[in-house]
Amino acid sequence: MRKVGVVGAGAFGTALAISVASQNNNVILWGRSQAQMKEIKYLNENSRFLPNIKFPNELIPTSDLDALALCEVVLLAIPTQSLREFLEIHKTKLENLPLVACCKGAELETGDFPTEIIQRYLPRNNIMVLTGPGFAHELAQGKPTAMTLGSTVPTTADFQKILSSNTLRLYQSNDLIGLQIGGAVKNVIAIACGIAMGAGLGESARAALMTRGFAEMIRFAKVRGGNQNTLMGLSGFGDLSLTCSSKKSRNYSYGYALSQGDLIKYSDTVEGSETSHVIAKFGNDFDIEMPITQMVSKVIKQEISSAQAMEHLLARPLREDES
């Protein structure tokens, strides 16, 4: 039996913990709220994020970070915008532990991706990233899911085996930046698709946004240092397809609500919201053509309306169909 830690008791962190524990691994699920973790332990489920999905016996909820000390690997499933603060407070308790970034997006203030943030605080740790198309509730229910584990060290295959299950298939990649570009940009494009569908523009408009959004992802990767081929796989095209096509996607749902003017009750973490500003600024600074990303950022900042954004995109000069 292997021992695995998961930091973050939200939907995705809990789903990962359930998946890994289902393979008879001893899993420690950490959450910062003592009251929340006591409730989760008592109910044997995370009723807030994944109701009616019971935990395997091997899954132990806790609010004590010291419980992770003997873990063979720790998954960091906390929002990207909160990652730096968490590491500033708790980095000494994570020293020398193999870490897997399971969050997507780029930090608003610095533009750093999750692995780059971790590297600044724990440069000697083995740092990996887990990304790709996967809804938390489906993963927790044991529905077939395929994702990618990124790492630059030879021991990746061992962690790949530990984290895989009968229903979660993990592939390997050594392109950490490319993997994280896919996970970041696809959320922005998903917001755009949500805006379009909320405005009643139809499936053809969504297909156009996905396709041209994918071209933006590739342009961004060429400058930011990612491998274009990586984006053709699960972390890029795969994740884009899932996130832009379902109301189960938080980013898509956020965009839909944005176009409806109904954000008052929207409280879920939406990584693409902050990420849109980061990617848009980078695009401006390095003269990368990213019109969809630019429009999403402006709509979120309330600089233009959803209708104005779509009008602007449709009014762009005609051109050849290329990246």
For 166-223, what is each residue's pLDDT tens digit?
A: 999 999 999 999 999 999 999 999 999 999 999 999 999 999 999 999 999 999 999 9
The pLDDT of 154-172, averaged and rounded, is 94
Q: Which one from 3, 41, 104, 186 is the annotated catalytic residue?
A: 186
* pLDDT in the model for residue 1: 84
CA atoms within 13 A on the CB side of 143: 10
298 is catalytic: no
Q: How far apart are CA 230 and CA 172, in angstroms?
A: 11
CB atoms within 10 A of CB 114: 29
pLDDT grade, residue 265 (50/70/90)? Answer: low
Do 28 and 4 contact (CB within 8 A), yes or no? yes
d(CA 18, CA 55): 6
Helices (H) and strands (E) in the chain, counts: 14, 8
The predicted-structure confidence for 272-295, as pLDDT tens digits, reads as follows 999 999 999 999 999 999 999 999
What is residue 129's predicted lDDT score, i.e. its pLDDT?
98
pLDDT digits (tens, 9 = 90+) for 45-62: 999 999 999 999 999 999
Which residues, other chains included, contact 186 with Cβ-Cβ below 8 Å and sequence gap of 6+? 213, 217, 236, 239, 240, 243, 244
CA atoms within 13 A on the CB side of 206: 22
Average pLDDT taken over every residue of the chain:
95
**What are the start-end ranges of the H helices in the chain?**
11-21, 34-43, 80-90, 114-121, 136-140, 156-163, 176-198, 203-224, 228-231, 239-243, 250-260, 271-285, 291-300, 306-314
For residue 68, give the 3-state DSSP assignment: helix
> What are the CA-CA distances from residue 241 to residues 72, 199, 210 (Å)?
33, 20, 8
What is the chain's percent helix, strand, coil content, to nearest 5? 50, 10, 35
Q: Please give the class, per CATH, of domain 3-174.
A: alpha beta
Q: What is the pLDDT of residues 93-118, one digit of tens each?
A: 999 999 999 999 999 999 999 999 99
Which of the 8 DSSP states describes residue 234?
A: I
Give dist(CA 220, CA 293) in Å, integer: 11
Distance CA(254)–CA(221), nearest Å, equals: 25
Top-tier CATH class for 186-314: mainly alpha
Can you give the residue ranges of every domain in the chain? 3-174, 186-314
Residue 264's pLDDT is 54
Q: Which two tokens stand for residue 66?
A: 């010291």
Please give the share of the chain, as a percent, with pLDDT higher than 70.
98
Please name which of 211, 260, 265, 267 lies closest in space to residue 240, comparing C-alpha atoms. Answer: 211
